[in-house]
Amino acid sequence: MADEEQPQIYLVTPPEVALAEFAPRLEAVLDAHPVACLRLEFATRDADAVARVADGLREIAHARDVPLVVAEHLALVERLGLDGVHLTDGARSVRKAREMLGAEAIVGAFCGTSRHQGMSAGEAGADYIAFGPVVDTGLGDGTVAPRDLFAWWSEMIELPVVAEGALDAARIADLAPVADFFAVGEEIWRDADPAAALGALIAAMG
């Protein structure tokens, strides 16, 4: 699939969101470009704070037929009327998430740079696998998901693969033939015009 179609955009919120300020920025991005999915990626562990933001963003996303998933917080999916969950612990929680949320929910798994974790997550019922970061961010242990990992996955595995982590135009151009989705978040939200910033990244796909 990845080498026959242009990759899709998987939009990620900033880790901290002031709804009144962020909502119009999100609306502008969603109205300017096709987005396959939106992920709530919050730093806070305050469930009420997450719920308040999620309620507002759900209305914006669903009005544009964009599914909304939340990172990690399985218990909030049904409570907040979200479409699924993005897990950050590889394959470990995938089976539990699938059992809790049912067959229709989106269950994604971030697997770092581990092909083995990706395959295990797929076998456990994940709908997509995310690898990253794709460049050295200076954070974590410095391990980078290489192009070869995406190339192997797109050739051998049918499950969609997401590239994320410190994406720029050059890396997107390089990975476009071997990725199904690009998870884009802080790369555009720090820009004064996030819709234009996303447009530049999309143009880099070729």
- Which domains does the chain carry? 8-203 (3.20.20.70)
Distant-in-sequence, close-in-space partners of 76: CB < 8 Å, separation ≥ 6: 47, 50, 51, 54, 70, 82
What span, in angstroms and rounded, lies between the C-alpha atoms of 20 and 182? 26
Phi then psi dihedrals of residue 40, to 5 deg: -85, 115
Q: Which residues contact 127 (CB under 8 A, 6 or more apart)?
A: 84, 106, 107, 108, 159, 160
Determine if the pTM surpasses 0.75: yes
From first to last of the 206 residues of the chain, give the pLDDT tens digit. 333 589 999 999 999 999 999 999 999 999 999 999 999 998 887 888 888 999 999 999 999 999 999 999 999 999 999 999 999 999 999 999 999 999 999 999 999 999 999 999 999 999 999 999 998 776 667 789 999 999 999 999 999 999 999 899 999 999 999 999 999 999 999 999 999 999 999 999 98
Q: Which residues contact 2 (CB under 8 A, 6 or more apart)?
A: 150, 154, 161, 177, 178, 179, 180
